[in-house]
Structure 1
């Protein structure tokens, strides 16, 4: 999908911001770029849409060199979300989102339903927010508009430059979860820059760690935690995060026992209310005896709101779950396979007793290691 071939960025004063990096991003992957200040992560991302022209090497999108595009055409075909959001204050929310489709020549009859669809997708009611202005929205709502605008023309590639770093912790965590859910549903290729390792571990299908313009390691979060390939990588991740002997840790020690569940006969309106109150992206479905039945995503509920009477009609089966006798290692292995980013934990009667997400898994393992290390000192 996207390929870097020996790409460098050298400024006129001789400073080499990016030093001959090569890697590939397959379609539909969320790749996180992370590193200390001056590592070249933001420059690497901006070279994709030529906000920063690269000095040497090649950047290819679907096999086509980005230098062969007219720069403005290239940028219109790539979604872009930044920390400052960059909404036009004198435009309504609807007009802000519609800018790129208008530039791409979409007809008004096509643009309006697309804008309203995207507003619903990111959790903004178009009947309430479409005609408001950015100053009338909270920071989290404005960032949702920024994400909707990046998706407006249905780009294959989306660039996100520290999009949540200016938000409060609660809003930030909520938007992280919503982006993970959107990514699963839309299958967009996302390049996400952050300086926060916890955010990287939670968000990334793979993580690229950079330093001094060099790419030191590009791997899955689990591989980085297990097998840091460079001393700096281990130091940057934090030795307290390195997972030790997860096969010896029972999954019940790291799971969350606070699981939000619903019955399949619940209405979509009740489901959405529950999802919003508990700030989750997927709802575990159980029967009256708490036995696991399936899963429903917020996206599917919103999309089918007017077409269904109960959420059981759109419930998807859960093929990836673990017995409460499993180990943390079993959860680590399964996490790469589950399409929902979560693993229900059940007892022998198939009753839901807990839940493991990628974020909670890594957080729990980090805490476990920290406590072990402190006890040894």
Structure 2
């Protein structure tokens, strides 16, 4: 999808901001660029849409050298979200989001439908916010508009330059989770710049760690944590991050992989037999493709045994779910609202990979703290 081959950037004063960097980004990947100030991460990202022209090497998108493309047209086909957001203050929210589709010649009907779709997807009711102006929105709401605007023309690539850096911690965490959810649905190719290692580990499919213009390591969060290839990488990530911080503990560490599933047309007597046989208190309901549908508790089965024909009649449709990329902290935050005290963990095909319960959370976290205390003694 996106390829860097020995790319360097040297400014007029002779400063080499990026030094012969090479990497590939496959379609649909969320890549995070991270490093200390002056590492070259933002320059690397800005070279993708020619906001900063590279000095040497080749950057290509779908096999086409970006230097052979018109810069304005290139930028219209790449979404761009920045920390300062950059909304036009004299335009309404609707008009801000519509800018690029209008420049690309979309019809009024297409633009209007797209704006409403995107506002809904980022949690802004079009009936309430369409005619408002940026100054009437909070920082978090403005950043949602920035994300919607970047998605407006349905670009293949989205660049995000520390988009949540200026937000308060609660709003920042909420938008991080919403971005994860959006990416699961849209599967865009995202290049995300941050200086926050916690944010990088939470969001990235892969993380590129840079220092002094060089790419030191590009790997999955798990591999970076367990197999740092450079002393600076280990130092930058920080030792014992997983055991010390639930926010960085993967959700897989606090879930059980014992998942007993059934289909919604199962009879209540057979369903109850399954719960007793497997010694569980709830059944996970899936469809014909094994995608998650809902939950049924053994208590409800017993209570409604004589009045229902299939378990679908008493099934609870859970809105509290987590992606495989979530963390233990995400599970802790969401547990209070979890139906039956269960949070299904789903893959991109909506199949259940595991279950987080209050019991698995307490067991895993108490084990982590015990290990940490033993290390400190």
Question: So what's the TM-score if we normalise by structure 1?
Answer: 0.72
CA distance in 1, matches of 2:200, 2:234: 15
CA distance in 2, matches of 1:167, 1:370: 32
What's the CA shift string for 1:254-295, capped at 9, x where partnerless?
459xxxxxxx9xxxxxxxxxxxxxxxxxxxxxxx95333354
CA distance in 1, matches of 2:227, 2:172: 29
Matched, 1:13 2:13: yes
What's the CA shift string for 1:55-85, capped at 9, x where partnerless?
0000000000011111110000000000000
Deviation at 1:105, TM superposition (A): 1.0
Deviation at 1:339, TM superposition (A): 5.3
Matched, 1:290 2:300: no
Distance change (3 Å), C-alpha of 1:366 and 1:235 = farther
- Unpaired segments ≥5 residues, structure 2: 257-263, 265-279, 287-291, 295-313, 325-344
User: What is the match of residue 34 of structure 1?
Assistant: 34
Distance change (3 Å), C-alpha of 1:338 and 1:98 = closer
User: What is the match of residue 46 of structure 2?
Assistant: 46
Deviation at 1:13, TM superposition (A): 1.2
Deviation at 1:370, TM superposition (A): 5.2
What's the CA shift string for 1:87-144, capped at 9, x where partnerless?
0011000000000001111111110000000000001000000000011111111000
Secondary structure of the structure 1 residue equivalent to 2:109:
helix
CA distance in 2, matches of 1:21, 1:365: 41
CA distance in 2, matches of 1:75, 1:223: 33
Aligned Cα RMSD in Å? 3.7
CA distance in 2, matches of 1:3, 1:311: 47
Whether the 8 Å CA contact 1:343–1:355 is kept in 2: the answer is no
Whether the 8 Å CA contact 2:42–2:161 is kept in 1: the answer is yes
User: What is the match of residue 196 of structure 1?
Assistant: 196
Secondary structure of the structure 1 residue equivalent to 2:240:
helix
User: What is the match of residue 355 of structure 2?
Assistant: 345
User: What is the match of residue 91 of structure 1?
Assistant: 91
Matched, 1:150 2:142: no
CA distance in 1, matches of 2:370, 2:80: 38
Distance change (3 Å), C-alpha of 1:111 and 1:369 = farther
Whether the 8 Å CA contact 1:83–1:165 is kept in 2: the answer is yes
Deviation at 1:240, TM superposition (A): 2.5
Secondary structure of the structure 1 residue equivalent to 2:170:
helix
Distance change (3 Å), C-alpha of 1:75 and 1:82 = same
Whether the 8 Å CA contact 1:33–1:210 is kept in 2: the answer is yes
Higher gyration radius (CA): 2
Distance change (3 Å), C-alpha of 1:136 and 1:342 = farther
Taking the TM superposition and a 5 Å limit, the aligned residue runs for 1:1-377 are 1-241=1-241, 254=254, 289-293=281-285, 295=292, 344-345=354-355, 352-353=357-358, 371-373=373-375, 375-376=376-377
CA distance in 2, matches of 1:238, 1:232: 10
